[in-house]
């Protein structure tokens, strides 16, 4: 997951190491998957988040996405009740963890589009008005 951040931001391990003042080996271990984000100290998360322009909690949750993306399995089911409940859980997880904002801030266009599509579909499916916090992102999505 962290390797995608480097790719999307067009950064190298050296760039992040020097910019965030974190040892190269720590960044390399995070990128390779040898060390997970859960094993990082709060100090390292703070430095990385500060360098990348997002708060450390959002960075932590963003890198732990696999758990949240598992909700997408529900969306693929054909049973209408499961789709509705799965999509609701997925959208709730996106909102609670600021994942749309984080994907946008990290220039992760693929995840941003995936998340915003899920949010848009959820509100359209339920015939609800899209919350204001998402309206600017919908404009970005449509550009």
pLDDT of residue 67: 43
The confidence score (pLDDT) of residue 58 equals: 79
Structural domains in the chain, sorted by start: 2-63 (1.10.260.40), 66-142 (no CATH)
Chain CA centroid to CA 10, Å: 17
* Contact criterion met (CB below 8 Å) for 75 and 119: no
Structure tokens at 139: 């404009």
Report mean pLDDT in 10-residue bins for the chain, 143 residues.
78 92 92 82 90 83 59 44 58 75 82 81 78 76 63
**Which of 51, 48, 56, 105 shows the shortest CA–CA distance to 115?**
105
43-90-124 Cα angle (round to 5): 130
Backbone angles phi, psi at 130, to 5 degrees: -65, 130
Determine contact, residues 24/13, Cβ cutoff 8 Å.
yes
Residue 22 is predicted with a pLDDT of 94
């Amino acid at each position: 997951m962290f390797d995608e951040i480097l790719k999307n931001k067009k950064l190298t391990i050296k760039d992040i190491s020097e910019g965030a003042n974190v040892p190269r080996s720590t960044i390399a271990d995070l990128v390779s998957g040898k060390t997970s984000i859960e094993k990082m100290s709060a100090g390292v998360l703070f430095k990385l988040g500060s360098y990348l322009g997002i708060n450390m909690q959002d960075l932590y949750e963003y890198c732990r996405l696999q758990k949240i993306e598992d909700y997408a399995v529900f969306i693929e089911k054909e049973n209408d009740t499961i789709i509705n409940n799965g999509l609701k859980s997925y959208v709730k997880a996106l909102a609670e963890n600021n994942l749309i904002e984080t994907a946008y801030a990290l220039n992760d266009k693929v995840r941003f589009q995936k998340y915003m599509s899920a949010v848009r579909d959820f509100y359209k499916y339920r015939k609800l008005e899209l919350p204001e916090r998402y309206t600017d992102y919908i404009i970005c999505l449509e550009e």
